Structure formats: structure tokens, C-alpha cells
Amino acid sequence: MTVTEYNSCVNQYADGVFRFILKNIKDEDKAKDIVQDAFEKLWIKLTDIDAVTVKSYLFTIAYNTMLDTIRRDKFVGDFESVKDKNFITYNNYNDVKEILNEALSRLNDIQRAVILLRDYEGYNYNEIGKITGLSESQVKVYIYRARIILKEYIGNLYQVI
């Protein structure tokens, strides 16, 4: 991969990687750091990477960096991170995006990642398996179980709209 191809890669994929990471961790600053780390790792391996497979490689790096960040942050906590919103229940929602984000937050990390890669980013099962390090059948099972959880939470689409 050349420097020109790298710059083109940054222009093409930075927003997509950022959206994917932000949907998973919901912290804009951490998402920016993860994306920056992913592009830094890509820069270090610049001569080893083929320009054709760079998108998949970049999402894999970002996904693994995100998992490392999540694992590291599990051991760090503070009292200010508790939000009053978590203790309030709402009966009626009018914002579909808010409902979907709440539904996604109920999934575990791997389920959320495979659902977002499949339904939001448009990857096929094989590509998701390569990005996450899972087999194709494991990806299908995680997506199936995640969709059941989402369906139970959201219910009927007409009730949401």
C-alpha cells in the first residue's frame, strides 16, 4: 500500500469506522481515540497491507482495539458515571432512534458488534467472522440471538411508530 492509497483509505473509511465504534461504546472521545489508534496501526503496517483488503483489516483493528478498551475500562469506575436516567422509566417513546439505541444497549458486546456489522455496515457473515475472529456459524448464532432480544424489547414495529 502506498501513502496515496493510505490517504484515500482515511478519507473513505474514517467516518464508517468512527460510526461503528461510537455505536458500540457510546463515548465520542474514546471512539475518536480508537479510530486514531486503528489508523496508526495501519500506518505502521503500511507496506504489509494490500489496498484491496484494507477496509476489512481496518475494521478488524478497530474492533479489537475497542474490545481492549472495553476490557480495560471494566476495571475502572467512578461515581460520576452513574446517570439518573438509568433509574427513570419511560412508558411512551416517540423517538425511534432512541428506542433502537436503548435496544442495542441491552445486547452484550459481541452481539451488538455483529448486529451493527451486519445490519448497519452491510458486511456478510464471512466478513463479520474475519473481523471478529468468530466462525461463520457463530456469527449467525449471535445475530439470531441478538435479533430475538431486540424483538422482545421493541415488540411490534407499529407500536414503536
- pLDDT tens per residue, range 17-38: 999 999 988 889 999 999 999 9
Domain check: are 60 and 130 in the same one?
A: no
Instruction: Write down the H helix ranges in the chain.
Output: 3-25, 28-44, 54-74, 96-105, 109-115, 125-132, 136-154, 157-160
Final residue belonging to a domain, choices 82, 103, 136: 82
Mean pLDDT of the chain: 84
Residues 49, 112: one domain? no
Do 13 and 58 lie in one domain? The reply is: yes
pTM of the predicted protein model: 0.54
Nearest CA to 140 among 155, 124, 156, 153? 124
- At 91-101, the pLDDT tens digits run 554 577 788 88
Regarding whether 78 and 19 lie in a shared domain, the answer is yes
Q: What is the CA radius of gyration of the chain?
A: 17
Q: Which of these three, 48, 63, 82, is where a domain ends?
A: 82
**Whether residue 111 is found in the same domain as residue 74:** no
The CATH number of the domain where 128 resides is what? 1.10.10.10
Q: Which domain holds residue 127?
A: 84-161
Whether the predicted pLDDT of 122 surpasses 50: yes
One domain, residues 9 and 68: yes
Cell of 113: 458488534
Within this chain, do residues 88 and 143 fall inside the same structural domain, yes or no? yes
Total domains, the chain? 2
